[in-house]
Amino acid sequence: MTEKTRTTYRDAVRSALREALSGDDRVFLMGEDVGRYGGAYACSHGLLAEFGEKRIRDTPLSESAFVGAGIGAALGGMRPIVEIMTVNFSLLALDQIVNNAATLRHMSGGQFSVPIVVRVATGGGRQLGAQHSHSLENWYAHIPGIKVLTPGTVTDARWMLGEALKDPDPVFIFEHALLYPVEDDIEEDRTAFDPWKAKVRRSGRDVSLITYGGSLHKCLNAAAELSADGIEAEVVDLRSLRPLDTGSILGSVSRTHRAVVVDEGWRTGSIAAEVMAQIMEGAFDELDVPVRRVCSEEVPMPYAKHLEDAALPQPEKIVAAVKEMF
Amino acid sequence: MAEFRMPSLGADMTAGTLIGWMKGVGERVSRGDIIAEVDTDKGVIEVEVFTDGVIDKLLIEPGSKVPVGTVLAIIDEESPTDEDKQSSNSQGTSAVSEPTRLPRERAVSTGRRLASPAARKLAESLGIDLTKIEGTGPKGRIQLGDVQSAAKILNATSSEAVARIDSKTDRSARMRAAIASAMTRSKREIPHYYLHTTIDLTRALEWLDAENTGRAIKDRILYNVLLIKAVAIALRDVPELNGSWEDGRLNINESVNIGVAISVRQGGLAAPALFEADKKSLGQLMLELRDLVERTRASALRSSELSEPTITVTSLGDQNVETVFGVIYPPQVALVGFGKIIERPMIVDGTVQPRQLINATLSADHRASDGHRGGSFLSAIVRVLQEPEKL
């Protein structure tokens, strides 16, 4: 099967939601402005009319309350999909997420599971200032008991939600807000679709660019530029931050002997730092130069366009980091 | 200034003893001249120079044994001859010599050789001593590429194997060790595949008989030369068998230089090259083969003959061997083996006829080629040998 459908990332998310809602009566969508407004990023536009108020539920501006309600519904046998407008706001619900969702299977001795899916918009680059632009998905990837997916392509946006709903435990899906208008082909064949494995998006022999989500396209652009200079970069899309597909990371580094990890989170304590640690533990003997990372500058995200651009990882920074390795 | 270094004369050579200089300081040399004689496991080799210029310094005394890659002499490529000097002086200009390159400054010594983990791993697996390599990375760090180029010079021979051989050991023991090292590397690194076919040589031998009747006895062509030429021509169809596998990739060679396995009377063998065998006449190849056999047995081969073969042909027909399953000589990617010519019944055009048959075997490196292409190559040899007049 090589059938392909061209669509935007946003429409792919909406198709995934529609499929989930049609296929299982236990599924419902809940969050701020998901109903009448159609979602802050229009992912649920039209779904209220299609599925009604019981299944597309607008909530008060209280992340702790509606994430908590979602956890309760999941415990009660439902399959809630909770949307949080930005990852910065999700911090209000951290107690529900860390102390309840992530722990109840353990604390009940395996009697309860919490099959909730939480969709969260993340990332900067849209001039929304320091309270709406951060990339905190690595905080969630730190927590045992939940899983973290980061669709970086339209195909992943289309199919990851369905796989997340099959999981008996809490799954977080981080959607980089810059990706919503991106248009691409969906690979319709999902028989081999596995959201928990990293994917090589571009093969190359000289250096591995390891990344996910919103930084994937920056890495692909950097790889194209490097190729013009005779450096063939392999781009590895992590896709799942927890569990992390360490085997694929080590495999790529073993082929190229050089790695740059690109992550929009702040450098200190980033996912990039974790990937680097995995490489040191598992592929030390394969390294020909120290591993590098390109992360966000350690400042609250600036509002001014030129400063925001300067604070974020960019293809030029990736190219420069790679060139310093040769 | 060009550096003339101890050459590697095969996958198994790590060091050589300088027997003597054939040129002196101030003498002009040009590409291809014999500059020195070097004693190796394969005998005394006449070493050619690859640059044009004037010998500026001879750095190594005859009798010294030095590792492959050691600078033996400095050749001034720019230096004008005396005549040139006079003429240039008369024009009021003087030759400006290139500033001597200073050796790269060593990083502050911490007592530990800086080397990347990948470089250390590769050096260890190849038995290369890191202290003998110069690093080109930051702070003089030895990186993968540095080890790879050192390995190229050393041709990745296990230094351990060589170290065990005392320099006083006689030549045949050293040759044995060299063969052991190359063959071990071959079977360790090269995923061989083998293809075998039987070739009807009846027509070719009849043609050769007729051809030889017109020739003086000393000019008569042996059937081995037909086989070598046929292999050389067949390689045009399947060039990926003609070359080397180095640094994880195939380098296809444009010249077809057939290494001919020649046994040495005291034991052991060498496989020096018949250069551009596809372009030479049978008569020429016969002359060169005879010369090569004589010089191999007299230990008088040239360096390029040992370092530049692109494929090996071995024939054990005079030993009653019917089929040869050969081991590839690294870094080459293929070897063709021929057995003995045997007269056997064969069905031709519906009748049983006595035919002269020979078994040909291809041993090839599966990293560099696949069985399908190997099969095309054997088919091409069969085809070429059915039209001997075109050789």
pLDDT tens, B177-217? 888 888 998 999 999 999 999 999 999 999 999 999 888 88
- Tell me whether domains A4-187 and A199-323 share a fold: yes
Q: How far is CA A321 from the centre of its chain?
A: 24
Are residues A287 and B116, on separate chains, in Cβ contact within 8 Å?
yes
- pLDDT-derived band at B11 (thresholds 50, 70, 90) equals low
Size of interface A-B (CB pairs under 8 A): 23
Q: Which of A3, A32, A45, A63 is catalytic?
A: A63
DSSP 8-state symbol, B101: P
pLDDT tens, B132-176? 888 888 878 899 888 888 877 665 344 434 434 444 356 677 778
Positive or negative: CA dihedral A196, A201, A204, A206: negative
| Structural contact between residues B273 and B232, judged by C-beta atoms closer than 8 angstroms | no
- pLDDT-derived band at A33 (thresholds 50, 70, 90) equals very high
d(CA B114, CA A120): 46
Output the pLDDT for position B308. Answer: 87
Residues in chain A with CB shorter than 8 Å from the CB of B120 are 285
Output the pLDDT for position B78. Answer: 67
Domains of chain A, by residue range, sit at 4-187, 199-323
pLDDT tens, A181-203? 999 999 988 989 999 999 999 99
- pLDDT-derived band at B93 (thresholds 50, 70, 90) equals very low
Nearest CA in chain B to A285: B117
Q: How far is CA B177 from the centre of its chain?
A: 18
Q: Which of A32, A45, A83, A132 is catalytic?
A: A132
Whether the ω angle into residue B103 lies within 30 degrees of 0, i.e. cis, is no
Q: Over pLDDT 70: what percentage of chain B?
A: 85
pLDDT tens, A221-270? 999 999 999 999 999 999 999 999 999 999 999 999 999 999 999 999 99
Q: To the nearest whole angstrom, how far is the Cα of A263 from the nearest Cα of chain B?
A: 25
Residues in chain B with CB shorter than 8 Å from the CB of A257 are 116, 118, 144
Q: Which domains does chain B have, with CATH numbers?
A: 2-86 (2.40.50.100), 118-179 (4.10.320.10), 192-390 (3.30.559.10)
- pLDDT-derived band at A300 (thresholds 50, 70, 90) equals very high
Kindly report the backbone phi and psi dihedral angles of residue B58, in degrees, each rounded to the nearest multiple of 5, phi listed first: -110, 115
Are residues B116 and A286, on separate chains, in Cβ contact within 8 Å?
no
Fold classification of A199-323 is Rossmann fold (3.40.50)
Checking DSSP bridges between strand A207-211 and strand A259-266, what pairing results, if any? parallel
Are residues A288 and B120, on separate chains, in Cβ contact within 8 Å?
no
Q: What is the CA radius of gyration of chain A?
A: 19
Q: Which residues of B touch A (CB under 8 A)?
A: 116-121, 137, 143-144
Output the pLDDT for position A86. Answer: 95
| Structural contact between residues A29 and A18, judged by C-beta atoms closer than 8 angstroms | no
Kindly report the backbone phi and psi dihedral angles of residue A46, in degrees, each rounded to the nearest multiple of 5, phi listed first: 90, -10
CA dihedral B213, B218, B221, B224 (to 10 degrees): 140
Q: How many CB atoms lie within 10 A of CB B389?
A: 9
Q: Is the pLDDT of residue B313 over 80?
A: yes
- pLDDT-derived band at A326 (thresholds 50, 70, 90) equals confident
Q: Mean pLDDT over residues A152-172, rounded?
A: 97
Q: To the nearest whole angstrom, how far is the Cα of A272 from the nearest Cα of chain B?
A: 21
A132 classed as catalytic: yes
Closest Cβ opposite residue A289 in set B116, B120, B121: B116
Predicted-complex ipTM score: 0.71
Q: Is the pLDDT of residue B33 over 90?
A: no
Q: Mean pLDDT over residues B91-103, rounded?
A: 40
Residues in chain B with CB shorter than 8 Å from the CB of A288 are 116-119, 143-144
Lowest-confidence segment of A61-75, B104-118, B329-343, B353-367 by average pLDDT: B104-118
Using a CB–CB cutoff of 8 Å, tell me whether A287 touches chain B: yes
A63 classed as catalytic: yes
pLDDT tens, A111-146? 999 999 999 999 999 999 999 999 999 999 999 999
Nearest CA in chain A to B145: A288
CATH class of A4-187: alpha beta
Q: Over pLDDT 90: what percentage of chain B?
A: 40
Positive or negative: CA dihedral B162, B163, B165, B171: positive
Q: To the nearest whole angstrom, how far is the Cα of B370 from the nearest Cα of chain A?
A: 22
- pLDDT-derived band at A47 (thresholds 50, 70, 90) equals very high
Strands annotated E in chain B: 2-5, 15-21, 28-29, 34-40, 43-48, 53-58, 65-67, 71-76, 192-200, 243-246, 249-252, 258-260, 262-263, 269-270, 273-274, 300-302, 311-315, 334-338, 342-348, 351-365
> Which helix (H) or strand (E) covers residue A296, if one does?
strand A292-296
Nearest CA in chain B to A326: B137
Nearest partner of B69 among B124, B30, B128, B15, judged by Cα: B15
Whether the ω angle into residue B331 lies within 30 degrees of 0, i.e. cis, is yes
B125 sits in the region (left: phi over 0; alpha: psi -120 to 50; else beta) called: alpha
| Structural contact between residues A197 and A226, judged by C-beta atoms closer than 8 angstroms | no
The CA-CA-CA angle for residues A121, A124, A129, to 5°, reads 105
| Structural contact between residues A109 and A237, judged by C-beta atoms closer than 8 angstroms | no
